[in-house]
Structure 1
Amino acid sequence: MALSTSFTELFDVEYPIALAPMGGSAGGALTAAVSRGGGLGLLGSGTGDEDWLARELPVLADQGAGKPWGIGLWSWAVDDGVVARVLEHRPPAVMLSFGDPAPFVERIRSAGAALILQVTDLEEARRAVDLGADVIVAQGTEAGGHGARQGRSTLPFVPVVADLAAPVPVLAAGGIADGRGVAAALALGAAGVLLGTRFQATAEALVAPATARAIVDAGGESTERNRVLDIARGSRWPAQYTARTLGHPFLDAWRGREGELSAAPLPAQQEYQDAVARGTIPALPQWAGEGIDLIDDLPSAADLVATLAAQAETALARAAGR
């Protein structure tokens, strides 16, 4: 196993590559494909919605070939009852992101699941170590979807967290979309990577075809981190978390006026709903990270895992040769 790390050993997976549990889009088929491909698939449960899990878990069970997997939850959006119900499905791993994970740690540990905690700053990283995380994900601001408004870039953030957390395995997240990024993360001291946007552009992702195609066609300069779209669509996401998305008409209309929008959101929210009903905007923002320049196809996620690993091995060998 050329890319063996403490992360691959912990979960008995072939490659140090994990699927970001993207809320709603990392469904059973995508989770299963990543795990079958030799990585760790993480189901994007988010709020722990029972109906969504009832639909996606059988798909994962049917297609996962008995490989390791996990479930991701947003700490701010769940309570102890939700976590307890999720654990009834016996996930080998549970990842908590965005918010205080402390109320759920003991229940997860008691269930025998590995605890993965995502962090966006050093205070959160220290807290994750203190809580006894089995794996820590260091998310940089280049990441697509939600992250800390006052976060850090992936390149300087990951090695600091890796040093702080050692010997706990750290996964790098944010702006990584090919094997060179995987190799770079390993060189920075990470034990692997957590990829979101790259896996959104795969055959198994639960995204609209137009969104997958937009990720392939767009460039990193087309992404923008903001709260405008959360406010406009009436989302409950806490204000400290912004989201990196592709361009959107509401961003153009409200850029630089977030305070005004927050103070009187109802007219804009109605306008947003009307535009969705007319089909002039997608129902959901198109989450995308800065690494989308490196995405030019829509492969099977299982094949993609092996491709990323091969690219990483080549990059590491090339660097060693120099």
Structure 2
Amino acid sequence: MALRTRFTELLGVRHPIVLAPMGGSAGGALAAAVSRGGGLGMLGSGDGEREWLERESSILASGTDRPWGVGFLTWAVDAGAVEHALEYAPRAVMFSFGDPGPFVEPVLRSGAVLIVQVTDTEEARRAVDLGADVVVAQGTEAGGHGARRGRSTLPFVPLVVDLVAPVPVLAAGGIADGRGVAAALALGAAGALIGTRFQATAEALVDPAITRAIVEGRGRDTERSSVLDIVRGSGWPPEYTARTLGHPYLDRWRGREAELAADPRAGRDYREDLARGVIPPLPVWAGEAVDLVTDRPCAADLVATLAAQAEDALGRAGRR
């Protein structure tokens, strides 16, 4: 049984599996491997920093001739960075967290597929009005950043599917194996956007300590918070929080975010603790499905495994 969907037909990929454009860790080698495996690899360009994009795009181009894309943090990027990324001819461009309105025109003009991630129904309507070719419905189970007042993946995905039809929807949040991909398809989505599972792959641009933490992590140990954004001075808008594994500064400042933001010593303490190596080099972004991540395969093999698991899960459900 082939998992052909409107998304696979639109992008010309074999499997309805997409690498989440995780800032920094979804580099050229990882995106290329996902695309070689039959999914859609996405560079995590974040704010569109030129040196990073040039380096990782070169790695990606030498690693695959299959479709690939690039993702931006909408609140952090500027029009020049988007224009620059389009020079590399990505097959898809994705915007997350903020109003993509100022950036969509050059993407649509280029012929690239416009993907917009949404966290509520208002954003979903806005994405369609802007001409989105694909909408990503992100649930609060997702690792990394998401809406402070978001919705769980299970009820949110079919709501968005109905709202934006016939635009294809990708489900995101809490998907880390083929059963999750199958569930997304059963909810009416045309594919799944997956992050945490791809953090623990051979090609991911992450510190080995982070890989170990993900492989050993448990969903019950994840939490959504703004503490680590505040103490790192990361600039994320307050309407977004991040799901991570445990961290000493979460324990120190949980529930005291306003006090943390007003304390100039906290940032200095954090930087000093980083320099001394007593806290992790970065927060460990991880979703609630982290329990299902138990190894560190090559990403291309992982795509094939996820697709096979999804086919098997759908086949078993059909026989029942």
1:70 matched residue in structure 2: 69
Q: Residue type of the partner of 1:150?
A: R
In the aligned structure 2, how far is the partner of 1:225 from the partner of 1:245? 7
Q: Residue type of the partner of 1:41?
A: G
In the aligned structure 1, how far is the partner of 2:262 from the partner of 2:118? 29
TM-score, structure 1 as length reference: 0.98
1:12 matched residue in structure 2: 12
TM-score, structure 2 as length reference: 0.99
1:39 matched residue in structure 2: 39
Cα shift readout 1:204-247 (whole Å, capped 9, x = no counterpart) = 00001110111111110111100000010111111111000010
Instruction: Count how many residue pairs are aligned between Structure 1 and Structure 2.
Output: 320
In the aligned structure 2, how far is the partner of 1:34 from the partner of 1:61? 13
1:307 matched residue in structure 2: 305
- Extract unaligned runs of 5+ from structure 1: none
Aligned-residue offset at 1:197: 0.2
Aligned-residue offset at 1:57: 1.0
In the aligned structure 2, how far is the partner of 1:301 from the partner of 1:295? 13
Aligned-residue offset at 1:283: 2.3
2:135 matched residue in structure 1: 136
1:105-116 maps to which residues of 2 (within 5 A)? Answer: 105-116=104-115
Worse overlay, 103-112 or 194-203: 103-112
1:242-261 maps to which residues of 2 (within 5 A)? Answer: 242-261=241-260
In the aligned structure 1, how far is the partner of 2:295 from the partner of 2:204? 13
> Is residue 145–residue 242 contact of structure 2 (8 Å, CA) maintained in 1?
yes
- State percent identity of aligned pairs: 71
Worse overlay, 103-112 or 7-16: 103-112
- Extract unaligned runs of 5+ from structure 2: none
2:24 matched residue in structure 1: 24
1:148 matched residue in structure 2: 147
Aligned-residue offset at 1:85: 1.3
Worse overlay, 54-63 or 66-75: 54-63
Worse overlay, 239-248 or 54-63: 54-63
In the aligned structure 2, how far is the partner of 1:132 from the partner of 1:41? 22
1:279 matched residue in structure 2: 277
Q: Residue type of the partner of 2:109?
A: S
In the aligned structure 1, how far is the partner of 2:128 from the partner of 2:55? 34
Aligned-residue offset at 1:88: 1.5
In the aligned structure 2, how far is the partner of 1:114 from the partner of 1:180? 27
> Is residue 47–residue 78 contact of structure 2 (8 Å, CA) maintained in 1?
no
Q: Residue type of the partner of 1:204?
A: E
Cα shift readout 1:270-310 (whole Å, capped 9, x = no counterpart) = 00100110011122111000001111110000000000000
In the aligned structure 1, how far is the partner of 2:272 from the partner of 2:4? 51
In the aligned structure 2, how far is the partner of 1:54 from the partner of 1:88? 10
